Structure 1
Amino acid sequence: MNIPKQTTPMIWGAVVGAALCAILGFTWGGWVTGKTARNNIEAAERDATATALAPLCAERFRAQDNADAKIAELAKASDWQRGSVVEKSGFATMAGSKGGESDVARACADLLLAPKTPKS
């Protein structure tokens, strides 16, 4: 079998070209692996759920009898403890779930402590 002389450089060119294409695609082209894509989707789902449920949690938290005292207690807690303070109150637990959602509790605490904007 006679293989043309230019076959070896052509094969090496294709291999190097494919490697460069992959390197450029993953570094600058925005390509991701399937696992990274699944992780990104899960993170987006958690963020969307927390964003949607946090206002309900904040409304329920403000509706309790001693809301002003509880919000003051929440403000005294450190940033990383605020989510657990809301979670312990039970208002971050949505109907049908067994425990509080920590992402919802953190978002709820942020809403409760956000500066109030004047209504126009």
Structure 2
Amino acid sequence: MSNEMMKNWNEYKPTKTVWLWSAVGAAGLTMIVGFTAGGWMTSSTAAERTQASTELAVATLAADICSNRFLAAADADAKLAALKETDSWKQDTFIEEGGWVTFANMEKPVDGAAELCASRLMAASPSATDSGA
């Protein structure tokens, strides 16, 4: 029976329609696997991810500058104590209103930086505000 199956397989000649639908099916399956498991994406998705990554990088840099400026200020201990007494959902507003994430020639604070800065400052100890640290 095995020989008969091999003979039938060798003699099989697919029609153009079968070839066409086989190619369409293979292309479709390749795209499905590529977009779901292969990491493929459209150009608009790539642009969105690039924009989000850029905004996060800018916010992270601004938060670093913010926390360093905050801790280097003359009244840093008092400001840090006031920040720690502020409700957690208002800490970013405290940082924004203090001007710590609004830089020269900017009208508005850097998006997302205040929350990152506040979380870094909450982890800081009062001794971190010493100018010798």
* Match for residue 89 of structure 2 among 70, 80, 84: 80
Note the 1:59-78 alignment, pairs <5 A.
Answer: 59-78=68-87
Name which one, 1 or 2, has greater alpha-carbon Rg: 2
CA distance in 1, matches of 2:65, 2:14: 73
* Match for residue 102 of structure 2 among 89, 93, 101: 93
The equivalent residue for 1:19 is 28
* Match for residue 40 of structure 2 among 28, 31, 48: 31
Q: 1:81-120: CA deviations, max 9, x gaps? A: 322221111110011211111311111112211255xxxx
Runs of 5+ consecutive residues of structure 1 not aligned to the other structure: none
Runs of 5+ consecutive residues of structure 2 not aligned to the other structure: 1-12, 126-133
TM-score by length of structure 1 reads 0.81
Alpha carbons 1:87, 1:101 under 8 Å: kept: no
CA distance in 1, matches of 2:73, 2:42: 47
Local SS of the residue matching 2:89: coil
Structure 1 residues 17 and 35: CA distance shift in structure 2, 3 A: same
**Count of matched residue pairs:** 114
More helix by share: 2
TM-score by length of structure 2 reads 0.74
CA distance in 1, matches of 2:42, 2:84: 41
Alpha carbons 2:35, 2:41 under 8 Å: kept: yes
Q: CA deviation at 1:5?
A: 6.2
CA distance in 1, matches of 2:83, 2:19: 68
CA distance in 2, matches of 1:78, 1:36: 37
The code of the aligned residue for 1:18 comes to: A
Alpha carbons 1:87, 1:102 under 8 Å: kept: no
